[in-house]
Amino acid sequence: MTGSSEQQKAHRPGIYKQKNKQHKYGKHRTKGEIERENKGRVSVGILTKKQRKEQKKIDRRHKATQLRRNKKDQVLTEKRSLGSRDGPPQLVAVVGLHAGADAGAVARLLGEGSGGHVQPEGGVMGASHSFGLVLPRFKQRFIFISPSTADLHSLLDVVKVADSLIFVLDPRDGWDSYGEYCLSCLFAQGLPSHCKLLIQP
C-alpha cells in the first residue's frame, strides 16, 4: 500500500445533506446580542414613589446612626485625652463633709503617697489647697482642689467643673448637719461621673 492511500480522505457532504432553516430574529435584537453590547452594564432602575419614600427613610436612619457614632467617638476621644500628655489635666475636687475632716490634709496625703511630681498651683479662687500632680508612670496629670465648704456657691461652682469628686468623712460621725446640707445641694445640682468616699485616718 502506498503512503497516499494510507492517508484518510476528507469527508465531503453529498447532495442529500440536511440543511436546517436559520431562525428568523425579525427586526429586534436577540437577548444575547444585547448582553454582548452592554458588556455587563446594568441600566439604572426607576424607583416608584413608594420605593423612593422608603429609600429616603433608610437614608435618614443611616445618617442619624452615622452622626450618633461620630459624636460618640468624639466624646470617647475627649475622655481618653483628659489627663494625658496632650490633653488638659483631670480636675479632682476634695470636699470635707464634717467640721473635723481636713480635706486639704487628705489631698496633700494623696499627692505625697502617689509617687508622682507635685507642683504647686496658684490662682484658684475659693480653694484653700490646690496643687498639680504628674504621674509619669501612668502618663497622667491631675489638679487637686480643696474648695471651702463655708462658701456654698464657690463649692457648687468647683464641683460643677470637676472631673472627679472625693468626699472626706469623719471616722466616727461620718458627716455633720452642714455636710448633709452641702451634700443635698450637690445632689440637686448633679455630681461628676466619678465620686469616691474617703474616711480620714
Query: What 8-state DSSP symbol labels residue 158?
Result: H
What are the pLDDT digits (tens) for 27-55? 788 888 888 888 878 777 777 888 888 88
- In this prediction, residue 200 carries a pLDDT of 62
DSSP string of 130-158, one letter each residue:
EEEEEETTTTEEEEEEEE-SSSHHHHHHH
SS3 152: helix
What's the pLDDT tens digit per position in 51-87?
A: 888 888 999 999 999 999 999 888 877 777 665 666 6
Which stretches within the chain are classed as H helix? Answer: 3-6, 31-38, 49-81, 103-113, 152-161, 177-189
Cell digits of residue 158? 468647683
| End-to-end CA, the chain | 124
Average pLDDT over residues 167-186: 85
Query: Which residues lie across from 196 on neighbouring strands?
Result: 166
pLDDT digit string, tens, across residues 99-124: 877 777 777 777 776 666 676 665 55
pTM surpassing 0.75?
no
Kindly state the cell numbers that stand for 97: 463633709
149: Cα separation from own chain's centroid: 36
- Cβ atoms of 167 and 106 within 8 Å: the answer is no
3-state secondary structure of 167: strand
State how beta strands 164-169 and 140-147 pair. Answer: unpaired
What is the signed CA dihedral for 45, 48, 53, 57, rounded to 10 degrees?
-30
